[in-house]
Chain A
Amino acid sequence: KAGVTQTPRYLIKTRGQQVTLSCSPISGHRSVSWYQQTPGQGLQFLFEYFSETQRNKGNFPGRFSGRQFSNSRSEMNVSTLELGDSALYLCASSPAGARGTEAFFGQGTRLTVV
């Protein structure tokens, strides 16, 4: 089985721009979660999608949004980028959306805001 795939791997954007990141989960996995990883704050939960619905959301501003498609692929969008948004963005997929199942991570997208 192919693992979780994130595109692009690296991205450089200017303050004020917006960005869209993509995540393709493991085949058959219906739950996709997104995390922001920074040296200072560690791994922080952004949101989780299951069957095209956002089920859970972390404490991030409304500039961070996401969606999930019928094939379980997910995208996250960050609008009006700030320097502090520079981070590694990781997505993770889980089978069946049941609580308490292993989350498999992608390689991440490294976003740099200049």
Chain B
Amino acid sequence: GENVEQHPSTLSVQEGDSAVIKCTYSDSASNYFPWYKQELGKRPQLIIDIRSNVGEKKDQRIAVTLNKTAKHFSLHITETQPEDSAVYFCAANSGGGADGLTFGKGTHLIIQP
């Protein structure tokens, strides 16, 4: 089955700086890679996703890049703000015909004022 590795587990950055979180996946048949943000006590919410036919996608301060050959994808947050503090999860879908996501272990992003 799919295996997703995520680094780092904790990331502390100064407000206004950029943050980068990296993930690798194992199943070459995976074709959908979402990123979720989970604030304390709340449900995970999708912040951006990318499909395997695209190399990069941007949405305001957030961008995701995908390297299919190397089987890794990354989340980039620019001009970080205090409200960006949360746990971020990367995920990949399975290689089969069904839904169901394999998640990384999460990155606790801390924005220092």
Contacts and interface: CB of A to CB of B under 8 A. Distances in A.
Interface of A: 31, 33, 35, 41-45, 47-48, 50, 55-56, 58-59, 90, 92, 94, 97, 99-108
Nearest to A94: B99
Contacts of B89: 42-43
A3 B77 CA distance: 27
Contact of A102 (B31, B34, B106): B34
Interface stretch (B18-26, B42-50, B56-64): B42-50
A42 B97 contact: no
A44 B103 contact: yes
A90 B99 contact: no
A42 B99 contact: no
Contacts of B71: none
Contact of B32 (A35, A48, A99, A104): A99
B99 A102 contact: no
Contacts of B94: 56
B38 to A, nearest CB: 9
Contact of B98 (A42, A99, A106): A99
A50 B43 contact: no
Given A42-B105, A56-B94, A59-B1, A102 B46 contact: yes
Contacts of B34: 102-103
B80 interface: no
Q: For B36, B91, B98, which residue has the most chain A Cβ atoms within 10 angstroms?
A: B98
A108 B43 CA distance: 7
